[in-house]
Amino acid sequence: MKTLVIHPKDRSTTFLEVIYKDIEDKTVITGGVTKAEIINLIESHDRVMIMGHGSPYGLFNTYGFNCMDSYIIDNTMVEVLSKKDNSVFIWCNADQFVNKHQLKGFYSGMFISERGEAYYCGLPGTKQEVVDESNYGFVDIVAECINETVEVIHSTVKEKYGKLAEENPVALYNNNRIYLNR
């Protein structure tokens, strides 16, 4: 299976690289392409994984992409993404984008990956170690099963990350916002 990974370069999301490091037949895009080129890449791959910082409107163009838009993934990509049924969408509020456009795959809602986000989401005073434990626990679990179906990814993450969530409030918050759309 040919996998396209779209993960804009951003030091605050480098921990997500663990998820796709062991995928064999992959193309990783961190910048340097246009939206039209991304559409062509999505069409030519069997599976698409999109991750980084975003909002209900899509994945932020943090820097490095050859377009002037604030988003590198947005409503202009919906038609081509709707042809995939095994995508992975990991960014803050990806659930609103996925649900609005009836896309298929494994995805996150609001996802705490930084202390400031923990504060914003009602967990003031959260220590960096707690956020790091949640981040690395999540990516290690997803990486374990990333070559499985999205159903297996979802059930594995809910179960194993759920165990971490029993002790880690950030993981609990995030695990309650992990979804599957078939």
We report the CATH number of the domain holding residue 131 as 3.40.50
The closest of 44, 46, 86, 78 to 59, measured between CA atoms, is: 78
Which pLDDT band holds residue 64 (cuts at 50, 70, 90)? confident
What is the per-residue pLDDT across 145-168, written as a single tens digit (0 to 9) for each? 999 999 999 999 999 999 999 999
pLDDT at 54: 97
Angle between helices 150-165 and 128-145 (to 10 degrees): 150
What is the per-residue pLDDT across 10-34, written as a single tens digit (0 to 9) for each? 999 999 999 999 999 999 999 999 9
Question: pTM (2 decimals)?
Answer: 0.97
pLDDT at 66 over 90: no
- The two tokens of residue 126 are 């959260």
Give CA–CA dist 167/58, Å, rounded. Answer: 31
Q: What are phi and psi of 60, to 5 degrees?
A: -65, 145
- Report the domain count for the chain: 1
Domain residues for 66? 3-181
The DSSP secondary-structure symbol of 121 reads T
| Helix (H) or strand (E) segment spanning residue 4 | strand 3-6
Q: Which residues contact 76 (CB under 8 A, 6 or more apart)?
A: 35, 39
Residues 131/170, Cβ–Cβ less than 8 Å: yes
pLDDT at 63 over 80: no
